[in-house]
Chains A and B, each alone.
Chain A
Amino acid sequence: GESVGLHLPTLSVQEGDNSIINCAYSNSASDYFIWYKQESGKGPQFIIDIRSNMDKRQGQRVTVLLNKTVKHLSLQIAATQPGDSAVYFCAENLSGTSYGKLTFGQGTILTVHP
């Protein structure tokens, strides 16, 4: 399953499928990007990050892809599980911004059906 940033904020997948969550970021000068997972009633939880000098980074079951040409970020979750159901936010840090100020995307709701 795949979401498209602001226009399709909900993604429903079956357990075991791969999920792709997309994010269109706003500033070509952003140099650092973070994906957060937020479960209901909890604070955002860091998943994975990527610097602008990279185009791919892998973690455990997650991969982040960065396409600076089109200012696009994606989060791929392999073998999605019901515990992955949450809201996923991308965040960008503008290069030179003082104190690490982040700009968040609007979020995508991921629902995983058993």
Chain B
Amino acid sequence: DTEVTQTPKHLVMGMTNKKSLKCEQHMGHRAMYWYKQKAKKPPELMFVYSYEKLSINESVPSRFSPECPNSSLLNLHLHALQPEDSALYLCATRRNSGGTQETQYFGPGTRLLVL
């Protein structure tokens, strides 16, 4: 099973709202990633969690707050977003067994629209 699930599939929120995106995997992967993808562009890395600890923050604004409550779940909390934050938000996972030559597997994404 190489499935990564994300909820919700679509989300519309106002600039004063607070919402959360969820990602779940049951492959036993210990690295989890959040990416942002704008239309017709490649994914841009936002955060990396390794063994449930935040390892990389790619200078993401504080209105995005990641959380990894356990090895299967990854959340992205959203607050006071701007219209330019509208994008496809992708979760990815990787086995993280120690080497770097490992595939990242992506979820289907959450399409976010900020009004």
CB of B55 within 8 A of CB of A32, answer: no
Give the residues in chain B near A51, CB-CB below 8 Å. Answer: 101
- Interface flags for A32-43 (1: CB within 8 Å of B; 0: not) read 101010000111
Task: Check if B43 is an interface residue, CB within 8 A of chain A.
Answer: yes
User: With A31-B101, A100-B96, A104-B43 in contact, is A43–B109 under 8 Å at CB?
Assistant: yes
Interface size class of A (residues with CB under 8 A): 20 to 34
CB of A98 within 8 A of CB of B43, answer: no
CB of B43 within 8 A of CB of A44, answer: yes
CB of B42 within 8 A of CB of A101, answer: no
User: CA separation between A47 and B105, bound complex, in Å?
Assistant: 10
User: CA separation between A42 and B88, bound complex, in Å?
Assistant: 9
Q: Which of B27-73 contact A (CB under 8 A)?
A: 31, 40-43, 45, 48, 50, 55-56
Task: Check if A97 is an interface residue, CB within 8 A of chain B.
Answer: yes
- The smallest beta-carbon distance between B55 and chain A, in angstroms, is 5
User: With A101-B56, A106-B42 in contact, is A46–B101 under 8 Å at CB?
Assistant: no
Task: Check if A102 is an interface residue, CB within 8 A of chain B.
Answer: yes
CB of B31 within 8 A of CB of A43, answer: no
* Interchain CB contact (< 8 A) of B102 among A98, A100, A106: A100
Of all chain B residues, the one with the shortest Cβ separation from A97 is B100
User: With A93-B100, A98-B55 in contact, is A43–B108 under 8 Å at CB?
Assistant: yes
Give the residues in chain B near A5, CB-CB below 8 Å. Answer: none
* Interchain CB contact (< 8 A) of A104 among B42, B56, B100, B105: B42
Q: Which of B85-115 contact A (CB under 8 A)?
A: 88, 90, 94, 96, 100-109, 111
Apart from the given pairs A42-B109, A51-B101, A106-B42, 12 other A-B contacts in the complex at a CB distance below 8 Å: A31-B101, A36-B106, A43-B4, A44-B106, A87-B40, A93-B101, A96-B100, A99-B96, A100-B31, A100-B96, A100-B100, A107-B42
Residues of chain A having any CB pair with chain B under 8 Å: 31-32, 34, 36, 41-46, 49, 51, 87, 89, 93, 95-102, 104-107
